[in-house]
Amino acid sequence: MKRVVFILGVLEDEDVDWLIDAGQRRELQPGEVLIREGAACDDIFLILNGSLEVSVVAMGDQPIAQLATGEVVGEMSFVDGQPPSATVTALEPGIVLAISCSQLRHKLQQDMWFASRFYRALAILLSSRLRSTVKHLQGEHWRPVTNPNDAGLDEMGDMLSMGNIRFDWMLKRLRNVNSNPWEELEVDSAD
């Protein structure tokens, strides 16, 4: 699942406009390091196209995960102020939207409604990642639990649907803003 939809599903259209205006399009080449473990990270990244690999020194720099279009990177360091706990490297040519952490902090301090939506979106994103990790660690022993709160599931479905729509809209809008259209960028909201 594209995790950026958790963020875009909670934000309003004007919030997404701000992210597009504040963000910088960055092209990645294979082997290029986007985030280095232990080194300060000045941006949050939305992966618009491509595939990246996550590795950690403690595991001998072996890959521990792959990230693809629609993932968010750098949000943990933004939230807790700690250096990144992993290195993120491009596996293939890709495109990210880099949003300056200092610019984002300024926006959050100036606009409390944006801050409320943004932090709620990050909480949902990080909760989703933690649930995925727990499921992975439990392996085949994990059994789904029926959630009696169907209203909450409907709300989550609506949020994810809106997030997918906004992600596609973001890609299309960024394509028209830049002087070099992203011909290789496919807009596909299917998971």
pLDDT tens track for 34-90: 999 999 999 999 998 899 999 999 988 889 888 988 888 999 999 999 999 999 999
Instruction: Show me where the domains of the chain are located.
Output: 6-139
> Nearest to residue 44, comparing CAs of 34, 30, 54?
34
Is residue 43 a contact partner of residue 65, using CB atoms and an 8 Å limit? Answer: no
- What pLDDT shows up at residue 29? 97
Please give the CATH architecture assigned to the domain spanning 6-139: Sandwich (2.60)
**Average pLDDT for 127-140:** 73
Return the bridge partners of 99, or none. Answer: 44
**Residue 88 near residue 26, CB atoms below 8 Å:** no
Distance CA 167, CA 5 (A): 7
Of 107 and 187, the structure prediction assigns the larger pLDDT to 107
Rounded CA gap, 134 and 142, in Å?
Answer: 9
**What is the reported pTM?**
0.76
